[in-house]
Chain A
Amino acid sequence: MNPEVYKESQIDVDEGLSTIEKTVLTDYKYGFVSKFDADEAPKGLSEDIVRFISARKNEPEWMLEWRLKAYKQWCRMADDEPTWANLKYPPINYQNIIYYSAPKQKMNPKSLDEIDPELRRTFEKLGISMNEQKRLTGVAVDAVIDSISIGTSFKEQLGELGIIFCSMSEAIQEHPELIKKYLSSVVPTTDNYFAALNAAVFSDGSFCYIPKGVRCPMELSTYFRINAENTGQFERTLIVADEGSYVSYLEGCTAPMRDENQLHAAVVELIAMDNAEIKYSTVQNWYPGDKNGVGGIYNFVTKRGICQGVNSKISWTQVETGSAITWKYPSVILKGDNSTGEFYSVAVTNNHQQADTGTKMHHLGKNTKSRIVSKGISAGFSNNSYRGLVHVGKKASNARNFSQCDSLLLGDKCGAHTFPYIEVRNKTALVEHEATTSKIGEDQIFYCNQRGIDTETAVALIVNGFAKEVMNQLPMEFAVEAQKLLAISLEGSVG
Chain B
Amino acid sequence: MNSVEHYKEHFDQLQSTDKNGLTAIRKNAFDAFNKFGIPTSRHEEWKYTRIGGLFNKQYQFPVSTGSLSANDINDLRLPGHEQANELVFINGIFSFPLSKIISPELIVQSLEEAASNEFKEIVAANLGHSSDYLKDGINALNTAFVNGAVFVHVSKGKVTEHPIYIYNITDARTENIFSQPRSLVHVGQNAQVQLIETYVTIGASESFTNAVMEIVVEENALLEYYKIQNDASHTNQVSTTHIRQVGKSYVHAVTISLNGGIVRNNLNIVLDAERCEAHLYGLYFQKGKSHIDNHTVVDNVKPNCFSNELYKGVMNDEASGVFNGKIFVRQLAQKTNAYQSNKNVLLSDNATVNAKPQLEIFADDVKCSHGCTVGQLDEEALFYLQSRGIAGKVAHSLLVRAFATDILEHVKPAPIRAYIETLIAERLEY
Residues of chain A touching chain B, judged by Cβ–Cβ distance below 8 Å, are 84, 392, 394, 407, 409-439
Contacts and interface: CB of A to CB of B under 8 A. Distances in A.
B297 to A, nearest CB: 14
A433 B373 contact: yes
A236 B127 CA distance: 54
A205 B375 CA distance: 42
Contact of A436 (B351, B368, B375): B368
Interface string B355-386: 11111111111111111111110000000000
B349 interface: yes
A430 B373 CA distance: 7
B44 A435 contact: no
A401 to B, nearest CB: 9
B358 A431 contact: no
A56 to B, nearest CB: 39
Interface of B: prevailing SS = strand
14 contacts: A394-B349, A409-B364, A418-B370, A421-B356, A423-B355, A424-B352, A424-B355, A427-B346, A430-B373, A430-B374, A433-B372, A436-B369, A438-B366, A438-B368
Contacts of B371: 432-435
Contact of A414 (B349, B364, B372): B364
A423 B364 contact: no
B353 interface: yes
A148 B369 CA distance: 50
Nearest to B347: A427
The 10 A-B pairs of least Cβ separation, nearest first, read A427-B346, A409-B364, A422-B355, A431-B374, A433-B372, A436-B369, A418-B359, A434-B371, A437-B368, A424-B374
A431 B375 contact: yes
A64 B331 CA distance: 51
Nearest to B366: A437
Contacts of B352: 423-425
Nearest to A413: B331
A430 to B, nearest CB: 5
A417 B348 CA distance: 33
B406 to A, nearest CB: 17
B369 A437 contact: yes
Contacts of B361: 407, 409, 415-417, 437
A414 B329 CA distance: 12
A416 B370 contact: no
A82 to B, nearest CB: 12
Contacts of A425: 352
Contacts of A432: 371-373, 375
B240 interface: no
B334 interface: yes
A437 B371 CA distance: 12
B357 A420 contact: yes
A428 B350 CA distance: 11
Contact of A430 (B44, B349, B375): B375
B317 to A, nearest CB: 11
Contact of B375 (A84, A411, A429, A437): A429
B359 A437 contact: yes
B351 to A, nearest CB: 7
A435 B346 contact: no
B356 A435 contact: no
Nearest to B344: A424
A97 B365 CA distance: 42
Interface string B136-161: 00000000000000000000000000
Nearest to A430: B375
B83 interface: no
A229 B376 CA distance: 52
Nearest to A415: B362
Contacts of B44: 84
> Considering residues B334, B363, B376, which has the most beta carbons from chain A within 10 angstroms of its beta carbon?
B363
Contact of A427 (B349, B363, B367): B349
B373 A417 contact: no
A424 B370 contact: no
Given A412-B363, A421-B356, A435 B369 contact: yes
A413 B362 CA distance: 7
Given A418-B359, A434-B371, A427 B364 contact: no
A210 B27 CA distance: 66
A390 B356 CA distance: 10
A410 to B, nearest CB: 7
B367 A438 contact: yes
Contacts of B363: 409, 412
Contacts of B351: 427
Given A411-B364, A439-B365, A429 B357 contact: no
Contacts of A412: 331, 334, 363-365
A158 B411 CA distance: 68
Given A394-B349, A427-B351, A437-B369, A422 B374 contact: yes
A411 B365 CA distance: 9
Contacts of A392: 374
Given A422-B372, A422-B374, A431-B375, A417 B358 contact: yes
A432 B355 CA distance: 11
Interface in B199-237: none
A426 B364 CA distance: 38
Contacts of A417: 358-361
Nearest to B329: A437
A416 B352 CA distance: 29
Contacts of A409: 361, 363-364, 366
Given A419-B356, A436-B369, 4 more contacts: A425-B352, A431-B374, A437-B359, A439-B366
B64 interface: no
Nearest to A436: B369
Interface string B312-337: 00000000000000000001001000
> Considering residues A411, A412, A427, which has the most beta carbons from chain B within 10 angstroms of its beta carbon?
A427
Given A425-B352, A429-B346, A431-B373, A419 B366 contact: no
B69 to A, nearest CB: 46
Interface in B4-62: 44
Contacts of A420: 355-358, 372
A438 B361 CA distance: 10
> Considering residues B331, B358, B376, which has the most beta carbons from chain A within 10 angstroms of its beta carbon?
B358
Contacts of A427: 346-349, 351, 376
A438 B334 CA distance: 11
Interface in B369-419: 369-376
Nearest to A421: B356
A429 to B, nearest CB: 6
> Considering residues B364, B365, B366, which has the most beta carbons from chain A within 10 angstroms of its beta carbon?
B364
Contacts of A418: 357-360, 370
B2 interface: no
Nearest to A408: B364
Contact of A423 (B349, B354, B357, B368): B354
B360 A415 contact: yes
A429 B372 CA distance: 13
Nearest to B320: A425
A333 to B, nearest CB: 19
